Amino acid sequence: MPVTPEQQAEIDELRANPRPTLRAVSEGMEAHLYKAYDVLDHGFIRVIDYMGDDAAICQAARVSYGKGTKSVQNDEGLIRYLMRHWHSTPFEMCEIKLHVKLPVFVARQWIRHRTANVNEYSARYSILDREFYIPQPEQLAAQSVVNNQGRGSALTAAESARVLEILKGDAARTYDHYEEMISDEGKQGLARELARMNLPANIYTQWYWKVDLHNLFHFLRLRADAHAQYEIRVYAEAICKVVADWVPAAYGAFEDYRMGGGVLSARGLACLKRMLAGEELAQEESGMSKGEWREFQALLS
Amino acid sequence: MPVTPEQQAEIDELRANPRPTLRAVSEGMEAHLYKAYDVLDHGFIRVIDYMGDDAAICQAARVSYGKGTKSVQNDEGLIRYLMRHWHSTPFEMCEIKLHVKLPVFVARQWIRHRTANVNEYSARYSILDREFYIPQPEQLAAQSVVNNQGRGSALTAAESARVLEILKGDAARTYDHYEEMISDEGKQGLARELARMNLPANIYTQWYWKVDLHNLFHFLRLRADAHAQYEIRVYAEAICKVVADWVPAAYGAFEDYRMGGGVLSARGLACLKRMLAGEELAQEESGMSKGEWREFQALLS
Amino acid sequence: MPVTPEQQAEIDELRANPRPTLRAVSEGMEAHLYKAYDVLDHGFIRVIDYMGDDAAICQAARVSYGKGTKSVQNDEGLIRYLMRHWHSTPFEMCEIKLHVKLPVFVARQWIRHRTANVNEYSARYSILDREFYIPQPEQLAAQSVVNNQGRGSALTAAESARVLEILKGDAARTYDHYEEMISDEGKQGLARELARMNLPANIYTQWYWKVDLHNLFHFLRLRADAHAQYEIRVYAEAICKVVADWVPAAYGAFEDYRMGGGVLSARGLACLKRMLAGEELAQEESGMSKGEWREFQALLS
Amino acid sequence: MPVTPEQQAEIDELRANPRPTLRAVSEGMEAHLYKAYDVLDHGFIRVIDYMGDDAAICQAARVSYGKGTKSVQNDEGLIRYLMRHWHSTPFEMCEIKLHVKLPVFVARQWIRHRTANVNEYSARYSILDREFYIPQPEQLAAQSVVNNQGRGSALTAAESARVLEILKGDAARTYDHYEEMISDEGKQGLARELARMNLPANIYTQWYWKVDLHNLFHFLRLRADAHAQYEIRVYAEAICKVVADWVPAAYGAFEDYRMGGGVLSARGLACLKRMLAGEELAQEESGMSKGEWREFQALLS
């Protein structure tokens, strides 16, 4: 259970007290505020705050005095134009702040997105909880034979069981030792900043993460992609759901122009023109490597 | 007059319609939203949106589930601690969006602060207004003889008058020519992206500027400083006023630890210890250059 | 003439003194170092320094102890793979430092690329030279009727002549006034930080600009594009030439995957599949707006 | 032993082949290139590349055509002026690229410095080595009672021995399990991206890290500080040594103005003036909290 009853009570209290504001309000986003959406076995994402809405993107693009919107339809057309022509700065005018609980090895991938603000729970100052990510058996898979950095076919039941036994056992033992090392009952107790080094990368941490919409879209494009590691992809997918309610027009343009389409190289475009003219092409004639050709075929099929 | 009646009507409409939100609300800031505060002869700043308050800084620093605040006094102590020890990330959790109208030569200094988001009025797409910064006579001064990049003593009345005559005349003439070049009445008319090159750097532009509180404090420290050029300093001072109402505890800490104090070098600190022990020191014994020594003396006087 | 004989002598001296280094050396880039390549009427770009080469990209991607390269062919394949799969961080491991002389209105576009380092010539500290960008007559064009922010058909000879007369006249007059205002002969003279406000946006400035290869490619993709304003595009094109000699494999991949190809939206991709299956499509059936459809057609023709 | 004989051979080969360059060369830095300097039990730092030297800082500050330097003494004065007056952009014109081997929990602190470029060894793609940070007994200490996030008095010999036994035992066991899980001998073998989650935070990783001199100084100020965790401080100290040889004037200014001095708040400055006037002050009269007062006293003693 990612959120305790005490934490849930704090969340409920925050949701019980609307206050008047003159700022842009996204009704879709207000419904999500503070709620914890479960991800993996002990993780969650929850929206702590946001700035702006679809109209705010247009208002900034027009540098206008009043509301950005002339009509919802005009706004959607402008947003699609901005997205299509890589005018990224108006999307930077929206901002979201999330509270995320996630395994450390996921946090290590996530933090590589540098244009964001982060406050992480400090294991120098505080004691980490006994919570580890233990995968579902169906998520356990062998090293991929086509993608050198991904996973391939699912493990057999016997092999899965052995892996889970190891992960659970090592998590329990290393956490027992962590507690033992920092305990000052009848002894000095090791400093937290040192004891934490014994904890494996599937322990959960948490942070506040704040990012603008343009950089969030970049994060989502890479991390909600089918090639991203499953354990970070599920976080990206959970975020996609709240963003779709927050800025529906911008999210729709993002889906159309970034997530759902594809990029053609000059070589790929030249091949495509020949194919549209009726020619049948083989990889050898394409100028592409085998890997590129396979990806090109996949895009068009 | 920086804001037209039509623009004022748009602003009034936005201020007339509070809506409920579950987000953190800063009462002090709500009073400022959308209002245009005059700066220089045609410029202004106005707050378009904000995210967070003093309590949000603490909430992020504690990575907590509920409100950051245990008590207002605790929060202030924590904020002062964070500021004193250069824990900058919790201050990044607040964000402000401003609409600013400013002369181009001020915009060119301002934009050097890179960690911010900007949408500027496009002179490729739109026609600039006939508005130029013409200094007040008392702001006209000679090149400083001590600070190689600042201004020194005020100009005489005669010299001031001559300067103002030049500035007004050239502004009027270049703008007349700009209009003439882009006019397509009875001719083709020059493209806007070309015609704008004839306009001098005291013409006004405007932009939406969004920045987090940590980077805003950095901007304010440099630009509200007595050594900053007057024309950007008055913008920084206008922003200081709204920030003081938005996050009073953070702004108080900023004033105490960044604006009001000083930085000592290792040499300066060594001198200070000798002075506290009763020694009288001269520049020659300080290890400092004449310039450093003058600044050191100024700090302590 | 953008470079004076004295400046050329300084450049020649720098080129006359090779020194031994253990760092990665790009022969192609050494040939360009310090040389000023003319851009527009008074501008230039020149390479002041660089870090890394094609092999350094691979070395970083492999986090290896020795040289990155196993063979030039392997390196090229890896670089193409990295570019195709948006692995941008290895390209950040190369860096270039340029000295650029450019009109102020071009500098104002350029500076919007924030992930770079800049030192600009200070008009608070120094006096600007009497050098203004005056376009070639064939560059003078009317506002575009299809692209709201670009230029369209060329001006007539008579209209061109009138525009050039205005630009030259205002440049001369405002610079005369600038000199007169700052002159302290027989009077105080206005501070430089104030006098500069009278100078139009086609005056030349200069700066040192340092950027990593990933962010440089992003700049070049947007600014060497056919839709960029001519006056910045010629700078981007001049930079492309030196980059092609510096990191030939990376530049080749950039041309193939970024400059020469195209991006398909989900809607565009769906249309393409129907077209490859032999269907004839009209805009009304595409789900695209007229503008999108026009761009889609242009990509495939 | 952090570097194997094969790796040392690669390093030696790189150091054996100087090549001519026209770029700025720092003799002091050439002596360090590629060499691995030991840090902790299995870690190291080594310089892979650099751009610029002291003269390059001045050249950029002056936006000059030739060498930045007029004389070494002039350059040092300018560098000190720039550092004292927070003119940070010329320092951004120097760049360094390091190869670092470090424990994961140190990497997690390090990566919080966002304005840098990083390529980390991929545990999705490759298998991590069996190397763990095991502290020296004298580094094992209890939680500090004055600093809530640091370490205090050293552990007793018995307690130290028990901690080291735990750390060594858990490292060995979790790595055995890691190897067992990924092994595909007679079975499928778990994907590397999953198996890595069982490894504790004291396992070593490595990366290429590239940063400009201004941001490096910021890193060093925070991480070479006495309050930084020992395990990252030793890396910062090792980097300080090479930087001192690379840009001696800039490093000297950094030591004087950033590392060796101190910051006074407005309250601190007011107290200081009273003390210089002969007054004896107690904490209660200072306007400072007990913590602030303690730090103020420490600065002046």
Please say if the pLDDT value at position B257 is more than 90. Answer: yes
Interacting residues of C178 by C-beta distance below 8 A, sequence separation 6+: C128, C195, C196, C198, C199
The structure tokens listed for C164 are 């050039």
pLDDT single digits (tens) A216-250: 999 999 999 999 999 999 999 999 999 999 999 99
pLDDT along chain C (301 residues), means of 10: 86 95 98 98 97 96 73 86 95 98 98 96 93 97 85 95 98 98 94 97 98 98 95 98 98 96 94 95 94 94 88
Which backbone phi and psi does B259 adopt, to 5 degrees?
-80, -40
Residue A187: CB atoms within 10 A of its CB come to 15
Q: State the smallest CA–CA distance between residue C59 and chain B in angstroms.
A: 30
Query: Which residues on chain A are in Cβ contact (under 8 Å) with B17?
Result: 22
User: Residue D14 and residue C66: Cβ atoms within 8 Å?
Assistant: yes
For residue C13, what is the nearest residue in chain D, using CA coordinates? D66
Residue to mutate among B13, B14, B21, with most A CBs inside 10 A, is: B21
pTM of the model: 0.96
Residue D73: CB atoms within 10 A of its CB come to 10
The Cα–Cα gap between D166 and D160 comes to 10
What residue type is D194 in one-letter code?
A: L
Q: Distance from CA of residue D11 to its chain's centroid?
A: 22
pLDDT single digits (tens) D245-276: 999 999 999 999 999 989 999 999 999 999 99
User: Residue B190 and residue C125: Cβ atoms within 8 Å?
Assistant: no
Residue to mutate among D109, D124, D151, with most A CBs inside 10 A, is: D124
The 3-class secondary structure across chain B, one letter per residue, is CCCCHHHHHHHHHHHCCCEEECCCCCHHHHCCCCCCEEECCCEEEEEEEEECCHHHHHHHHHCCCCCCCCCHHHHHHHHHHHHHCCCCHHHHHCEEEEEEEEEHHHHHHHCCCCCCEEEECCCCCCCCCCCECCCCHHHCEEECCCCCCCEEEECCHHHHHHHHHHHHHHHHHHHHHHHHHHCCCCCCCECHHHHHHHCECCEEEEEEEEEEHHHHHHHHHHHCCCCCCHHHHHHHHHHHHHHHHHCHHHHHHHHHHHHCCEEECHHHHHHHHHHHCCCCCCHHHHCCCHHHHHHHHHHHC
User: Residue B141 and residue C194: Cβ atoms within 8 Å?
Assistant: yes
Confidence of residue B102 (pLDDT cuts 50, 70, 90): very high
Contacts by residues D195-198 (CB-CB < 8 Å, ≥ 24 positions apart): D196/A105, D196/A201, D196/D123, D196/D124, D196/D128, D197/A103, D197/A105, D197/A133, D197/A167, D197/A200, D197/A201, D197/A202, D198/A166, D198/A167, D198/A170, D198/A200, D198/A201, D198/A202, D198/D174
User: Residue B166 and residue C181: Cβ atoms within 8 Å?
Assistant: yes
What residue type is D122 in one-letter code?
A: S
Tell me, what's the pLDDT at D42? 97
Query: Which residues on chain B are in Cβ contact (under 8 Å) with C141?
Result: 190-191, 194
The Cα–Cα gap between C22 and C66 comes to 13
Higher pLDDT, C6 or D148: C6
Give yes or no for a contact between D220 and D239, defined as CB atoms under 8 angstroms apart.
yes
Residue to mutate among B272, B275, B300, with most D CBs inside 10 A, is: B272
> pLDDT exceeding 90 applies to what percent of chain B?
90
**D5-133+202-259: which CATH topology?**
Gyrase A; domain 2 (3.30.1360)
Query: Which residues on chain A are in Cβ contact (under 8 Å) with B99?
Result: 63, 65
Higher pLDDT, A69 or B78: B78
Tell me, what's the pLDDT at C67? 66
Could you give the ipTM of this predicted complex? 0.95
Stretch D120-148: mean pLDDT, rounded? Answer: 93
For residue A155, what is the nearest residue in chain D, using CA coordinates? D188
Catalytic residue among C223, C233, C258, C294: C223
Lowest mean pLDDT among A8-17, A274-283, B41-50, D65-74: D65-74
pLDDT single digits (tens) A272-298: 999 999 999 999 999 999 999 999 999
Tell me, what's the pLDDT at D67? 66
| DSSP state, residue D139 | G
Query: Which residues on chain A are in Cβ contact (under 8 Å) with B23?
Result: 21, 33, 49-50
The 3-class secondary structure across chain A, one letter per residue, is CCCCHHHHHHHHHHHCCCEEECCCCCHHHHCCCCCCEEECCCEEEEEEEEECCHHHHHHHHHCCCCCCCCCHHHHHHHHHHHHHCCCCHHHHHCEEEEEEEEEHHHHHHHCCCCCCEEEECCCCCCCCCCCECCCCHHHCEEECCCCCCCEEEECCHHHHHHHHHHHHHHHHHHHHHHHHHHCCCCCCCECHHHHHHHCECCEEEEEEEEEEHHHHHHHHHHHCCCCCCHHHHHHHHHHHHHHHHHCHHHHHHHHHHHHCCEEECHHHHHHHHHHHCCCCCCHHHHCCCHHHHHHHHHHHC
What residue type is C104 in one-letter code?
A: V
Any chains having at least 3 CB pairs less than 8 A from chain B are A, C, D
Q: Which of B197, B202, B211 is nearest to B231 (CA)?
A: B202
What residue type is B106 in one-letter code?
A: V
Tell me, what's the pLDDT at A65? 76
Give yes or no for a contact between B128 and B203, defined as CB atoms under 8 angstroms apart.
yes
Query: Which residues on chain D are in Cβ contact (under 8 Å) with C60?
Result: 119, 208
Tell me, what's the pLDDT at D145? 83
**Residue ranges of chain B whose CB lies within 8 Å of a chain D CB:** 77, 80-81, 84, 86, 89, 112, 222, 255-257, 259-269, 272-273, 275-276, 289, 291-292, 295, 299-300
Q: State the smallest CA–CA distance between residue C261 and chain A in angstroms.
A: 4
Interacting residues of C21 by C-beta distance below 8 A, sequence separation 6+: D18, D19, D20, D21, D23, D25, D30
User: Residue C190 and residue B118: Cβ atoms within 8 Å?
Assistant: no
Domain boundaries, chain B: 5-130+203-259, 134-201, 266-300
Please say if the pLDDT value at position B167 is more than 60. Answer: yes
The Cα–Cα gap between A144 and C249 comes to 29
Helix axis angle, B72-84 relative to B54-62, nearest 10°? 70
From the candidate CATH numbers 3.40.50.300, 3.30.1360.170, 3.40.50.2300, 3.40.50.1820, the one assigned to the domain spanning C5-133+204-259: 3.30.1360.170
Please say if the pLDDT value at position B68 is more than 60. Answer: no
Tell me, what's the pLDDT at D64? 81
pLDDT single digits (tens) A81-96: 999 999 999 999 999 9
Average model confidence (pLDDT) across chain D: 94
For residue C31, what is the nearest residue in chain D, using CA coordinates? D22
From the candidate CATH numbers 3.40.30.10, 3.30.1360.170, 3.20.20.10, 3.30.300.20, the one assigned to the domain spanning B5-130+203-259: 3.30.1360.170
Any chains having at least 3 CB pairs less than 8 A from chain A are B, C, D
